[in-house]
Structure 1
Amino acid sequence: MQNIEAVVQQQPVSYYMGKRMIDISGALIGIILLSWVFLIIAIAIKVEDPKGPVFFRQKRIGKNEKAFHMFKFRSMVSDAEERLKDLLEKNETGSIMFKMKHDPRITKIGRFIRKTSLDELPQLWNVLKGEMSLVGPRPPLEREVNQYSEYDKQRLLVTPGCTGLWQVSGRSNIGFEEMVELDLQYIQKRTIGYDINIILKTVGVLFGSKDAY
């Protein structure tokens, strides 16, 4: 495998300019066209759990290990973070990432929006702010990065994305090591055409993926 840092430095300025233009236009179009979906999901979340917020704001690690707050529709009970410590031993990935297929913290509406990836829609705001791109490695949690090897940290050399090669290749059924390899593969191959291809493949996920939980 090529040196990832060298690959990133060698990618042309035209790619970064084109990618940013696609990010801004794509995020704006998405927010406008899907505003009615935002409203319906927000109402459903408040009806099921009136006490909790509609949006979930979580600290994530982005490009060059810079922290930012990522937005999602809340899909779990209000005290989900407090309950996590009691569930860590039930982690089904056997790796740094925590995944549990039947996580008891997930609400009914939360299970649906996770299955369809609709919980990710608020990240379009992160894209507009430049903290995320439409396509790129998923931004990890700080506690996950604390366990990264130097090899794993190579996936943090680029702007994280709302979707990526990992999501269209198996998502929750893929382990951490394979996810890292897919992210590094993406970084080496990425072009405007490659990004658009991943975006198009992601559309299918929005209509329900058996690999999401």
Structure 2
Amino acid sequence: MTEIDFLPPKKSWIQEIQKSDWIILTSGAAARTLPQIMGDLRTLHGKRIAVVGKSTAAILGALGLRADFVGPGPGSMALARAWPGKKSESILHLTGNAEEGGLVKVMRRMGYPTQRIEVYRNRLPPCLPKPVLSALRQAGADWVVFASGTAAQRLRRLVGKTAMPRIKTVEIETAANLRPRRPALAIFKSFECKGSLK
């Protein structure tokens, strides 16, 4: 649903990371940018890393890094509500253009000094990939499940109102990207597919 373009790393990003106590990653794409930004991941020694959920923690683990805090889910607002850090600690959110700074605003309102760097961009493909289109046309494709608000927005734009199937989302923020067009909407609290398919 979304094509991701990683932005060329800037030297200033390394400086921002080095002066931050915490790094927040709210997507797998953000986690995957760390090797390109830092080069040697050992330079992150002493930094604490917070991730939005288990899947982002797994991607971080595949890079040889461990998350110091895994948000309870679903979504970045749950991470903010459960934030374990101190108000004296500086925070840097590595994210994409679709996020638009919502997490930073919430963290600042809560009294945490938080900055944001856009390290990748989400791009709307010109049309749906053939496997997605084919699955939507199958009689057995009753539901589409979204864990990403960006992907939900993209499907809505590409498919239009009449062809939209029933939707399930993992969080209220993702659901908001589909309204008011989708009355048959369910929101569930588990990131696990098995939780959404019962």
TM-score band, normalised by shorter chain: under 0.3
- TM-score by structure 1 length? 0.25
Normalized per residue, the structure richer in strand is 2
Which of structures 1 and 2 has the bigger CA Rg?
Answer: 2
Report the TM-score when normalising by structure 2: 0.26
Please identify which structure carries the higher helix content: 1
